[in-house]
Amino acid sequence: MSEPLPPVYDPFLTEPKWQQFWQEKGFYQADPRAPGESFSMVLPPPNVTGNLHMGHAFSFTLPDVIVRYKRMRGWNVVWVPGTDHASIAVHTVLEKQLRQEGKTRFDIGREAFLEKAWAWKEYSQGTIIGQLQRLGLSLDWSRLRFTMDPGLNRAVIAAFVRLAEAGLIYRGEYLVNWCPATQSAVSDIEVDDREVQGSLWHFRYPLTEDPSQYVVVATTRPETMLGDTAVAVHPEDERYRHWIGKTVTLPLKNRQIPIIADPYVDPSFGSGCVKITPAHDHNDFEIGKRHHLPMINILNPDGTINEAGDPLTGLDRFVARQRVVAWFAEHGLLEKVEPYTHTVPYSDRGGVPVEPLLSIQWFCDVSGMARACLQASVEDNSPRFIPERWTKVYTGWLEKIKPWCISRQLWWGHQIPAWYPIIDGQRLPDPQAFVVAETEEQAYEKARQKYGQDVTLERDPDVLDTWFSSGLWPFSTLGWPDETEDYQRYYPNSLMSTGFDIIFFWVARMTMLGTYLTGKMPFKDVYINGLVRDELGQKMSKTKGNGIDPLELLDTYGTDALRYALIKEVIGAGQDIRLPYDRTSKTSSAVEAARNFANKIWNASRFVLLNLQDKTPQSWGSPDPSWLEPADRWILSRLHSCATQVIETLETYHMGEGARLLYSLIWDDFCDWYIELVKPRLRDPDQATPRQVLACVLEQILALLHPWMPHITEEIWQRLTQANQTTSLSVQAYPQPDATLINPALEQDFALMIQVIRTIRNLRIEAGIPPGAKVPVIVQTHEHLSTLRPLQSYIQDLAKVSELSLVAEAPSVSQVAVGVAGSVQILLPLQGIVDVGSLQRKLEKDLEKIHKEISSIQSRLDNPNFVGKAPPEILEKNRHQLSELQQQAAILQQRLHHLQ
């Protein structure tokens, strides 16, 4: 136990050791039968693709602070880890691999593809789990889940069947964002808007009854004209009023299409006429529905023009675009072409523009669920968002809720449990002709009842949107739909901690599905963390390549340093944070500062351990109160008042503030002052009291800091208590502040003492006294005599004073440097030749500053409004300050006279 510790803390030696220890001993394994109020969370499951990024490190460390705190406070804690199958992301990875082999997924088939996907998942999940463990997160690994585990698949199927049986699942025609490259519908979130330099083509559509007249319509996608079924104008637009109801002849197609009136059209933009392509544009789709226009789909799934687009059938959409333009030009119907910058939605993974495409998809009617969630939010503020302002974002989205397209034309994921009846080898024409069931046998049973004995079935090949399974995550991970012990004990979750970017996609889906399927809001609080931005304040993104690799910083500074830096150095309340980073040296000043803090703790602990004579805090026992010196009582007061505040910050999710409070307690109060104050007493090996205080304060500091820096605190605590890995700091009780030990008056006395010491140190430097030399000092004060007397030896030690005269009246000494601390006068007698000019300049400088403050306070006190209306304690404070400043001025003035 007593081998000396190295003077530099090495996180790489200790961190893996404790991570392994925590895991092997199962300290974070929840026991639903154990006592304690439940505190439950599920980890937002990272995708089984790629690596952990800075956002993960940030948004997972924050809740870990809370979880570790709650555990130490005696709550029955569970934090369930897991990973997400991420249909689209995995498809991207695997299809890219296949492409390199010159193949597509269709070449190898569904089964072989899924085999590859599972293999990928095994590999990738291992990587991610390893990285999560490196962050020191106190997750319950025995409950590790994956969104495609059999149990979770069962939950997905059960949820789908329940929703279908309630009539909330249907198939419908809808404009989806279609990615021709991957031939699947993609959700809005999977679309990436890019600004593109394009053109705006203006076409003439001749009036049917008089082809010499025409309307001009503009488009950025000329090929869509093949599917035009109307031209729209604003109902009040005088220019076109008389044309409403007439028809134009669609060029190239020779189709007569009506001119309709719709308020959507902005008369001030372009010609005020809009071509309407209901099957290929979201707005046009809405207009088409309003006016019962035909919807003509002109595209094949691969992005080529279909039969409806005759005569351009078979051409790629971009080739068709050129042909259309050329045709209009040839026929004198191209009014003009303008260069035009606009945003084009690109498919994230396909890398090509998505095409709004009319197709039949599966939908979930979430309007009722959204209403229920809105009601819960408005009436009960449930769930409660932290920071609160996100509530509006959440409810705003629920108010504008749209049907949720839940089908994806992919293979990796939960295949939709729906079967189509086949009668006489034919699918029925009715799109709603399907059966939904948990198993194929049950599907047959249902189908036979509905469609007769001869029916056969064909399962829908599509998989569900990944968010469908992650929407069940807070309860599917706990065993739902079974009423398991875990589910009963830990559902609903206490807290959901995640980023604002997925409030819509994930949080809202969880609340909607959760309230509908379980009857309960899936979590009480939602903590929304900001983004980690790069050193220039920009959002880190794959496309910009400006990500900062957390693993690199972990390798350089260790886990505790990164955790602490992310939370303390840079966090605001739910605000984005910016991480200082030097790309050439791959260093971060913020993380380095946190590493230095760890090192400071390490060395302070070395000092304490060195002085404990191989005994533990427990064997030293509590100090006898009657033996405590002022310094002991002071550090205990600081410890307990700080602990009170730290607990308050944790209870209100102000983890950054808590981190800062502890920084100052440890570095300033404990290291800079208490340890220095206690050193003289430690020279006597028989002095027990300072050793007892050091031991118990250190132990409590370690416990207080543990949620932020779990590894170093565990390492030191194990040595300090000689626990010998029988238990862990992470399951010890969090320090309970004792209000009787908090002594504000004493803390004030120490503040004055510190000021006096600093003034003496400053005077020594001004007077050019060598750092090591001890000098006599006179401290003069009327009102603080009794305060400073018991602290006299501290001042003497820390200011290197040979002889300290503490007096009520100042003696007349001429050769002297003077300073003031409050109303306390400090005199440093000078020997030998003195630079009178420099002393004078310093005095004049001090005086000037004081006079400025005096006049400011004086004018305030001269204001009758202030005197009449300000609260008495403020008035008192001002008067006190004024009198103190006046005393200071008098002292300095007098000394200035003496010099002259």
Partner RNA sequence: GGGCGAUUAGCUCAGCGGUAGAGCGCUUGCCUUACAAGCAAGAUGUCACUGGUUCGAGUCCAGUAUCGCCCACCA
Binding to RNA in span 246-285, by CB under 7 A:
264-270, 272, 274-275, 282-283
* 218, β-bridge pairs: 202
How many residues are listed for the chain in this entry?
900
What is the H or E stretch that residue 250 is in? strand 247-250
Could you tell me where the beta strands, DSSP code E, fall in 522-640? 523-529, 532-533, 577-578
User: CA-to-CA distance for 218 and 274, rounded, in angstroms?
Assistant: 7
Min dist CB 231 to RNA, Å, is 10
Min dist CB 274 to RNA, Å, is 4
Min dist CB 434 to RNA, Å, is 29
Min dist CB 673 to RNA, Å, is 8
- Of the candidates 175, 406, 374, the one whose C-alpha atom is nearest the C-alpha of residue 284 is 175
Using the rule CB under 7 A, which residue among 154, 607, 687, 804 binds RNA? 607
Using the rule CB under 7 A, which residue among 221, 711, 719, 842 binds RNA? 221
Window 539 to 568, contacts with RNA (CB under 7 A)? 539
3-state SS string for 372-405: HHHHHHHHHCCCEEECCCHHHHHHHHHHCCCCEE
Using the rule CB under 7 A, which residue among 578, 638, 691, 784 binds RNA? 578
Q: What is the largest CA-CA distance in the chain?
A: 119
For residues 248 and 416, which CB has a smaller minimum distance to RNA in the complex?
A: 248
Taking CA atoms, 168 is separated from 101, 218, 289, 369, in Å, by 42, 39, 22, 10
Q: Which stretch binds RNA (CB under 7 A): 94-102, 127-135, 518-526, 655-663?
A: 655-663
Using the rule CB under 7 A, which residue among 62, 436, 577, 635 binds RNA? 577
Binding mask 494-533 for RNA (x = CB under 7 A): -------x--x----------------------------x
Using the rule CB under 7 A, which residue among 874, 876, 880, 883 binds RNA? 874
Window 727 to 766, contacts with RNA (CB under 7 A)? 757-758, 761-762, 765
Using the rule CB under 7 A, which residue among 685, 771, 832, 837 binds RNA? 771
Report which residue type is found at 218. A
Min dist CB 30 to RNA, Å, is 33
User: CA-to-CA distance for 285 and 220, rounded, in angstroms?
Assistant: 17
User: CA-to-CA distance for 232 and 380, rounded, in angstroms?
Assistant: 45
**What's the token pair of residue 7?**
């003077």
- Of the candidates 168, 165, 166, 171, the one whose C-alpha atom is nearest the C-alpha of residue 443 is 165
Min dist CB 202 to RNA, Å, is 9
Window 381 to 410, contacts with RNA (CB under 7 A)? 389, 392-393
Using the rule CB under 7 A, which residue among 23, 306, 546, 603 binds RNA? 603
Q: Which stretch binds RNA (CB under 7 A): 469-477, 488-496, 663-671, 689-697?
A: 663-671
User: CA-to-CA distance for 900 and 892, rounded, in angstroms?
Assistant: 13
- 12 lies in the site for RNA, by CB under 7 A: no
Using the rule CB under 7 A, which residue among 316, 866, 890, 899 binds RNA? 866
User: CA-to-CA distance for 64 and 130, rounded, in angstroms?
Assistant: 16
# binding residues, RNA (CB under 7 A): 85
Min dist CB 572 to RNA, Å, is 2
* Residue reference for tokens 């709603």: 432
Burial bucket for residue 140 (CB in 10 Å: 0-12, 13-18, 19+): buried
Min dist CB 900 to RNA, Å, is 24
For residues 7 and 35, which CB has a smaller minimum distance to RNA in the complex?
A: 7
**What's the token pair of residue 517?**
């399927």
- 572 lies in the site for RNA, by CB under 7 A: yes
- 877 lies in the site for RNA, by CB under 7 A: yes
Binding mask 108-147 for RNA (x = CB under 7 A): ----------------------------------------
- 638 lies in the site for RNA, by CB under 7 A: no
User: CA-to-CA distance for 312 and 306, rounded, in angstroms?
Assistant: 8
- Of the candidates 31, 63, 35, the one whose C-alpha atom is nearest the C-alpha of residue 525 is 63
Min dist CB 688 to RNA, Å, is 19
- 537 lies in the site for RNA, by CB under 7 A: yes
> In sequence order, what are the residues at sequence separation of 6 or more whose Cβ sits closer than 8 angstroms to the Cβ of residue 73?
733, 734
For residues 727 and 793, which CB has a smaller minimum distance to RNA in the complex?
A: 793
Q: What angle do CA 91, 95, 96 make, to 5 degrees?
A: 120
Min dist CB 580 to RNA, Å, is 5
SS3 230: strand
User: CA-to-CA distance for 865 and 856, rounded, in angstroms?
Assistant: 15
Using the rule CB under 7 A, which residue among 142, 322, 449, 863 binds RNA? 863
Min dist CB 95 to RNA, Å, is 25
Window 803 to 842, contacts with RNA (CB under 7 A)? none
- Of the candidates 300, 294, 243, the one whose C-alpha atom is nearest the C-alpha of residue 272 is 243
The single-letter DSSP state of residue 519 is: S
Using the rule CB under 7 A, which residue among 255, 489, 524, 679 binds RNA? 679
Window 155 to 194, contacts with RNA (CB under 7 A)? 188, 193
Window 339 to 378, contacts with RNA (CB under 7 A)? 342-343
For residues 112 and 196, which CB has a smaller minimum distance to RNA in the complex?
A: 196
Q: Which stretch binds RNA (CB under 7 A): 172-180, 418-426, 741-749, 866-874?
A: 866-874
Window 841 to 860, contacts with RNA (CB under 7 A)? 856, 860
Could you tell me where the beta strands, DSSP code E, fall in 106-208? 145-146, 169-179, 184-186, 191-206
Report which residue type is found at 106. F
- 489 lies in the site for RNA, by CB under 7 A: no
- Of the candidates 773, 774, 779, the one whose C-alpha atom is nearest the C-alpha of residue 792 is 779
* Residue reference for tokens 């995708």: 47
